[in-house]
Copies of this chain bind each other. A is one copy, B any other.
């Protein structure tokens, strides 16, 4: 069977490239992936998958950092204009762009989840002539959206895996669940998909990233840990304006509330159990030089080496925000716009993946583990799976890169797409056999 999987994987390389470039060309940022998700859903249905969409895939109340309604509407229109099936787009109204598809082999066996993230970055793609997507005419046509993190490749691999699995259905055991996650950037999507049950009952979950910490084709990092937990908050203070010369005492100063909050937030105690971070990254306040400032908005985030530590940080932050509001007599509003749990891959799952990779013989640099020290929304899904008794790993699929992730000149070696499909499908099969 191993030979067959390789053969079929390699055979689909051209199709994977086509898919990847189509997604790349129509890049869509978090919660606006209407066309991307419609393309995926259409293909999955074609393959015979039962596809959960809308509120069946995304819990509305748990969505973080959702754009404004008019922005969502504009993006829905654009998706249709760019060829998306209007009925599918309609089904995702409100930004419900996550998808869950399941293949049931009909035989007993584990439930294995595979997660692919689908959103683009909110940057403009490079317009230099030598940028490969420009040369090959698949650079993003959507302003302010570009696939600079390889999620376009993840989508292509996801559909490749979906296709290959249906062809092999009779050989499979248990069930395989494909999770297409929107809004990974900003740590926004996982939580709402967990809320809708995306990882319920999962025994193993696999996540992949192209080129992260493994920037050469042929490299493979089999597991990742030290994912930092994070909480991202947008804070608004609303006070009362007053003439700064005539009646300053009648104002409620939102700028000073935000200034005091910013200082006191950064003064949150260090944590004896592990690393923390706290950042107020932007602050905009006030209306005019001689008016007591009535409005202030700031964007902040906390991080923690564990979810518990991040919860400590976020809890302190919320109290400080409230306390500073009280200090200045202003109203406050906190919106959680992102957040994810910390995580560590399971050695058992990693060992299976590593064994498969060695057998494949095409990797020249295989490593067990990397401590990430940063944030990936996958850790949220994996940690929930582990909390429920399952296992998981997040692996880095090495690829030659033209520039670093999130850089407007980012591009990756497309040859790794079929390798990725092969590795995932073989790992699934091996996990089912254990």
Q: Taking beta carbons and an 8 Å cutoff, which residues of A are in contact with B?
A: 228, 232, 244-251, 253, 255-256, 258-260, 262-264, 266-267, 269-273, 275-293, 296, 299-301, 303, 312, 316, 319-320, 322-329, 373-375
Q: Of B245, B247, B283, B286, which one neighbours A255 at CB under 8 angstroms?
A: B283
Asked if A323 meets B312 with Cβ closer than 8 Å, knowing A246-B272, A260-B263, the reply is no
| A270 surroundings in chain B (CB, below 8 A) | 248-249, 270, 275-278
Are A279 and B271 also in contact (CB < 8 A) when A284-B284, A329-B319 are? no
On whether the beta carbons of A246 and B301 are closer than 8 Å, the reply is: no
Assembly CA distance A357 to B266 (angstroms): 48
Sample of 11 A–B contacts (CB below 8 Å): A249-B312, A256-B266, A256-B267, A256-B280, A258-B283, A259-B283, A281-B286, A282-B285, A319-B327, A320-B327, A323-B323
CA distance A269 to B328 in the complex (A): 10
Is chain A's binding surface mostly helix, strand, loop or mixed?
A: mixed
The 6 A-B pairs with the shortest beta carbon distances in the complex, nearest first, are: A323-B327, A282-B286, A323-B326, A266-B267, A259-B259, A244-B279
> Is there an interface contact between A285 and B283, defined as CB atoms closer than 8 Å?
yes
A299 to B270 Cα, complex, angstroms: 18
**Residue of B280, B289, B325, B329 touching A299 (CB-CB under 8 A):** B289
**6 new A-B pairs (CB below 8 Å) besides A245-B373, A259-B260, A260-B263?**
A251-B269, A256-B280, A258-B283, A281-B293, A283-B293, A286-B299
* A296: nearest chain-B partner, CB-CB: B283
Collect the chain B residues with CB atoms within 8 Å of residue A245's CB: 228, 272, 277, 303, 373-375
- Name the distance in Å between A356's Cβ and chain B's nearest Cβ: 31
Report chain B residues within 8 Å CB of A312: 249
Closest to A251 in B: B269
**A291/B283 in contact, CB under 8 A:** no
Residue in B228, B258, B279, B328 whose CB lies within 8 Å of A323: B328
Q: How far is the CA of A266 from the CA of B268 in the complex (A)?
A: 7
Query: Are B289's CB and A232's CB within 8 A?
Result: yes
Whether A292 pairs with B319 at a CB distance below 8 angstroms is: no
Nearest-neighbor residue (CB-CB) of A313 within chain B: B249
By CB atoms of chain B within 10 A, which of A228, A249, A273, A328 has the most? A249
Output the least CB separation between A292 and chain B (Å): 7
- Complex Cα gap A319–B267 (Å): 17
Which of the residues B246, B256, B281, B373 comes within 8 Å of A262, measured between beta carbons? B256
In contact, A286 and B275 (Cβ under 8 angstroms): no
Query: Known contacts being A245-B375, A285-B283, is A264 close to B260, with CB within 8 Å?
Result: yes
Bound-state Cα–Cα, A256 to B283, Å:
10
In the bound complex, residues from chain B placing their C-beta under 8 Å from that of A278 are 270
CB distance from A339 to the nearest CB of B (A): 12
Q: Which residues of B contact A247 (CB under 8 A)?
A: 272
B293 touches A282 (CB 8 A): yes
Counting chain B CB atoms within 10 Å of each CB, which of A251, A270, A303, A319 scores highest?
Answer: A270
| Min CB gap A346→B, angstroms | 24
B279 and A287 contact, CB distance less than 8 A: no
Q: Which residues does chain B contribute within 8 Å of A276, judged by CB atoms?
A: 270
Do A269 and B282 touch (CB < 8 A)? no
Check A301 against B290 for contact (C-beta < 8 Å).
yes
Closest partner residue, chain B, to A280 (CB atom) = B255
* Alpha-carbon gap, A313 to B221, bound state (A): 35
- A301 CB to closest chain B CB (Å) equals 5
A319–B323 touching, CB < 8 Å: no
CA distance A301 to B287 in the complex (A): 14
Picked from B228, B244, B279, the residue with its CB within 8 Å of the CB of A289 is B279
Instruction: Return the chain B residue nearest A233 by Cβ.
Output: B289
Identity of the chain B residue whose Cβ is nearest the Cβ of A324 in the assembled complex: B327
| Minimal beta-carbon separation of A11 from chain B (angstroms) | 41
Q: How far is the CA of A276 from the CA of B255 in the complex (A)?
A: 20
**Given that A289-B301, A293-B282 are known contacts, is A277 also in contact with B244, CB under 8 Å in the complex?**
yes
